[in-house]
Amino acid sequence: MKTHRMLSGSCLQKVTFALCLLTYALGAGAQAYPVRPVRVVIPYAPGGSSDTTARVLGEKLRELLGQQFVIDNRPGASGSIGRDLVAKATPDGYTLLVGDSPHTINVHVLKHVPYDPIRDFTPITLLATAPQVLIVNPAFSAKTAKEFVALARAQPGKLNYGSGGSGSVTHMTGELFKLAAGVNIVHVPYKSIALANADVIAGQIQAAFPTAPGIVGHVRAGRLRALAVSTLKRARAFPDVPTFEESGVPGMTVSNWFGVFAPAGLPKPILAKLHKTIMDAMQAPDVRARFSKLSLDISTTTPEQFGAHLRSELARWGKVVKAAGIRAE
């Protein structure tokens, strides 16, 4: 019995020592991280808001950590290809994702999403948000959101709106508007929201619900008219444009968000270092100035807050998809 106790004590000491070594190794690894370039996956083609956001952040992280943050654009399947790549990557901090609102939408509107948007990722932080905007051609008869709603109610099924494709945030915003305003307007999907915006300018379709950064220049140049923004308060980019709430359409507080993810299982010391460094980057005056110029509102969070936001968004868009009768494609 005494020998057994001695052996048990010896084994316990060895296990404790091994755990201490592991903890030390993880801590030391986090201190050294990153020792090689970090891949930042963007699930879209170059040029969009996610891509621009990632490049601005990546440049500052390179300055702060002394390693390259290499942008890897992986478009396809409404962003699912890039997200799946990250979900299946080794959780060592060398593969990150800059994602956006469709991260919590795709699972509701696509039949075959090969990842779980919550379980397969480590949320690091929200970066920024931008409002959705109801736009029309300046020559269109409705000059305000109230007039647009009245016209749509008077002519159910006659007006239409363009989006960046089924399941995009511009599509979901349009469907949420239909539910909130009690109107029937027809969805016209495009390959990108830029193409939909172009057809609003050309008078081919009546409206669209793009994210603010993509249409600020068009609105200021008079090529588009902004009727309402989806923020609680008036958007900094459009101080003269009322909110949907002001326009008599409650329940339209929605924004496209951008955030940083890693694969599930990211070691806590590396998560902590990444989070702190990203916070430092987002506080830098040059980064804040560039985000402001892009009409993006910096909205950083803790990993826990970002995780809660994702769960809330997942539930919200699920309800919208069900209420709108959208079928998975």
Give the residue from 229, 244, 264 where a domain finishes: 229
Strands 133-136 and 207-208: antiparallel
Q: What is the pLDDT of residues 319-328, one digit of tens each?
A: 999 999 988 7
Supply φ then ψ for residue 287, to 5 degrees: -70, -45
CA distances from 103 to 3, 17, 113, 129, 229 (A): 57, 41, 11, 14, 22
Which residues, at least 6 apart from 191, have a Cβ–Cβ distance to it below 8 Å? Answer: 164, 165
State whether 80 and 224 are in the same domain.
no
DSSP per-residue codes, 136-169: E-TTSS--SHHHHHHHHHHSTTT-EEEESSTTSH
Q: How many domains does the chain have?
A: 2
State whether 67 and 114 are in the same domain.
yes
CATH of residue 200: 3.40.190.10
State whether 116 and 142 are in the same domain.
no
Q: What is the pLDDT of residues 2-36, one digit of tens each?
A: 555 554 555 556 545 545 444 544 455 677 999 99
State whether 126 and 140 are in the same domain.
no
Distance from C-alpha of 211 to C-alpha of 167, rounded to nearest angstrom = 14
> Does residue 245 lie in a domain region?
no
Distance from C-alpha of 162 to C-alpha of 167, rounded to nearest angstrom = 12
State whether 288 and 223 are in the same domain.
no
Q: Which domain holds residue 161?
A: 133-229
State whether 84 and 153 are in the same domain.
no
Q: What is the pLDDT of residues 84-140, one digit of tens each?
A: 999 999 999 999 999 999 999 999 999 899 999 999 999 999 999 999 999 999 999
State whether 122 and 262 are in the same domain.
yes
CA distances from 137 to 154, 200, 240 (A): 19, 6, 17
State whether 118 and 261 are in the same domain.
yes
CATH of residue 311: 3.40.190.150
State whether 44 and 118 are in the same domain.
yes
> Does residue 72 lie in a domain region?
yes
Helices 285-293 and 268-283: angle between axes, nearest 10 degrees: 70
Q: What is the pTM of this model?
A: 0.85
* Terminal CA-CA length for the chain: 66
